[in-house]
């Protein structure tokens, strides 16, 4: 079936439209302006949109976001075990509040309150008043990888599922160069990460339509990080007729692999990014339709050869391609239909290859714009399949993967520059305010420790979209 993301979401949104409209949507959110310039109101949980939430937890910090209807302070009251409460005033005169609470101890449970204007922000299932910091895996830190996907450079309106009579359904949000601004902010944030990022993995849909200007722009932005990077192709990056000077109309190939032959669509690569860690990228995009497949260009033979090479060298592998591949992931998209790599076009064969190699630490995807963890029965709990949230819209950020000798520590980081805060709050109103329920993902998919020995916390498989966060995180 030639179904893309918008067509699939349209079938779900049309069926759920009456329910979603009954939830309050934009009206309950104070009608944040498209363009992200309007003041934000305090929404309630049933209204959707950006509600108070813990965005991420690391081994030494956590971050929470919330809205107020007038500029107010961003205050956190922290209660560490066995200590008196500590009040931290982190910001002043903010509508979109970002509270980063650092200086914490790994593997420790803290209680906290969020406050603005002298009032306590009520707890919700997404901000419970308690948080447990992550415990890093055992051994030395080997490498830090930044994970970015769904940048959509060149896109003009965010949130469109279908155009009906020339109008976006649901209503979309447009801001000045929003995809460029969000991606650029993410790159600036990456340059401040410590320990430093060793490699940036841009995992598909790096452009809106793979036009020449879009490809030039996104590669220019990625190079500003001054960090080694590589890209994979997403459905938006497929060949577009008459869109490029290249004879095969493949602007992505022209920029990502300029020395490859015309018509060589399946861009795949392996990079030894640090001692003991290799990143592998595959092209999961059909060149004409953008649908998910892995049976072109000898990619599975390439993957098998690289996994044998890295196993012999004692290297851990991060594998990435844009479309999700496990049956579990397929059945929990909205609506539950085949949305990722087709099982008969390389999907099942790819899972067989992965299952034969227990040094594949993590498989990462984009495409769904959500944070989500799935598994495949053949490889079991030793290999999580991680979907990472989009850069260009809510949840609006990037992932960090810290590879240790004994496991991987995963965190998701939202960009927090002033314009980006407002844009994230605006795009949280997409799909009649229900967009975050689908894309946010549980906290256990945004912040987890995956140990190779199976001890301690392992990321559980994420539940159906919109379900509450698990009541724990850490080790």
Average pLDDT over residues 325-330: 91
Give the phi and the psi of residue 9 in degrees, each rounded to 5.
-65, -30
Q: What are the residues whose beta carbons fall under 8 Å from the beta carbon of 268, sequence distance 6 or more? A: 280, 281, 282, 283, 297, 299, 302, 303
The answer to whether residue 403 scores a pLDDT higher than 70 is: yes
Residue 327 Cα distances to 195, 336, 351, 372, 458, angstroms: 36, 10, 10, 13, 20
pLDDT tens column, 65-113: 999 999 999 999 999 999 999 999 999 999 999 999 999 999 999 999 9
The sign one gets for the Cα dihedral 166, 170, 176, 179 is: negative
Q: How far apart are CA 144 and CA 401, in angstroms?
A: 6
Longest pairwise C-alpha distance within the chain: 68
pLDDT tens column, 237-287: 998 876 666 678 888 998 998 888 887 889 999 999 999 999 999 999 998
Q: How far apart are CA 191 and CA 146, in angstroms?
A: 10
Assigned architecture for domain 45-132: Sandwich (2.60)
The residue extents of the domains of the chain are 45-132, 141-451
Q: What are the residues whose beta carbons fall under 8 Å from the beta carbon of 326, sequence distance 6 or more? A: 340, 351, 374, 375, 376, 385
Query: Omega into 374 within 30° of 0, i.e. cis?
Result: no
Q: What is the mean pLDDT of the chain?
A: 88
Lowest mean pLDDT among 17-21, 64-68, 360-364, 441-445: 17-21
First to last CA, the chain: 42
The answer to whether residue 52 scores a pLDDT higher than 50 is: yes
Lowest mean pLDDT among 1-10, 25-34, 168-177, 418-427: 25-34
Nearest one of 398, 366, 404 to 385, comparing CA atoms = 366
pLDDT tens column, 364-397: 999 999 999 999 999 999 999 999 999 999 999 9
Assigned architecture for domain 141-451: 4-Layer Sandwich (3.60)
Q: How far apart are CA 414 and CA 425, in angstroms?
A: 12
Question: How far is C-alpha 195 from the geometric centre of its chain's CA atoms?
Answer: 21
47 band by pLDDT with thresholds 50, 70 and 90: low
């Amino acid at each position: 079936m030639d179904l893309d993301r918008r067509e699939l979401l349209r079938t779900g949104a049309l069926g759920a439209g009456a329910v979603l409209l009954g939830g309050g949507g934009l009206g309950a959110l104070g009608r944040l302006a498209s363009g992200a310039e309007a003041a934000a109101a305090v929404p309630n949980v049933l209204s959707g949109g950006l509600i108070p939430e813990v965005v991420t937890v690391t081994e030494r910090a956590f971050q929470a976001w919330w809205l107020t209807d007038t500029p107010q302070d961003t205050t956190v009251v922290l209660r560490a075990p066995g200590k008196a409460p500590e009040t931290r005033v982190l910001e002043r005169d903010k509508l979109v509040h970002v509270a980063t609470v650092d200086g914490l101890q790994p593997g420790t449970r803290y209680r906290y309150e969020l406050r603005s204007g002298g009032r306590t922000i009520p707890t919700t299932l997404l901000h419970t008043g308690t948080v447990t910091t992550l415990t890093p895996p055992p051994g030395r830190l080997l490498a830090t990888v930044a994970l970015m996907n769904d940048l959509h450079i060149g896109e003009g309106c965010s949130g469109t599922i279908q155009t009906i009579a020339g109008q976006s359904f649901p209503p979309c949000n447009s801001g000045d160069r929003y995809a460029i601004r969000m991606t650029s902010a993410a790159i600036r944030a990456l340059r401040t990460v410590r320990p430093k990022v060793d490699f940036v993995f841009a995992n598909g849909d790096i452009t809106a339509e793979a036009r020449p200007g879009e490809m030039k722009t996104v590669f220019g932005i990625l190079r500003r990080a001054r960090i080694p990077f590589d890209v994979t192709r997403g459905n938006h990056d497929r060949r577009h007729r008459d869109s490029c000077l290249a004879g095969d109309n493949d602007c992505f190939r022209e920029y990502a692999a300029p020395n490859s032959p015309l018509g060589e669509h399946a861009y795949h690569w392996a990079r030894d990014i640090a001692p003991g860690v290799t990143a592998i990228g595959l092209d999961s995009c059909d060149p004409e339709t953008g649908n998910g497949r892995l049976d072109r260009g000898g990619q599975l033979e390439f993957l098998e050869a690289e996994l044998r090479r890295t196993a012999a060298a004692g290297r851990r592998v991060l594998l990435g391609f844009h479309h999700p591949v496990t049956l579990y992931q397929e059945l929990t998209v909205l609506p539950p239909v085949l949305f990722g790599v087709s099982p008969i076009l390389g999907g099942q064969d790819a899972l067989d290859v992965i299952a034969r190699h227990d040094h594949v630490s993590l498989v990462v995807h984009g495409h769904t714009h959500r944070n989500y963890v799935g598994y495949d029965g053949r490889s079991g709990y030793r290999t999580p399949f991680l979907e990472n949230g989009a850069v260009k819209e809510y949840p609006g950020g990037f992932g960090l993967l810290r590879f240790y000798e004994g496991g991987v520590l995963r965190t998701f980081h939202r960009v927090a520059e002033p314009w980006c805060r407002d844009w994230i709050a605006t795009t949280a109103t997409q799909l009649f305010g229900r967009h975050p329920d689908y894309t946010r993902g549980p906290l256990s998919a945004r912040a987890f420790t995956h140990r190779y020995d199976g001890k301690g916390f392992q990321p559980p498989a994420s539940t159906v979209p919109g379900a509450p966060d698990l009541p724990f995180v850490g080790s």
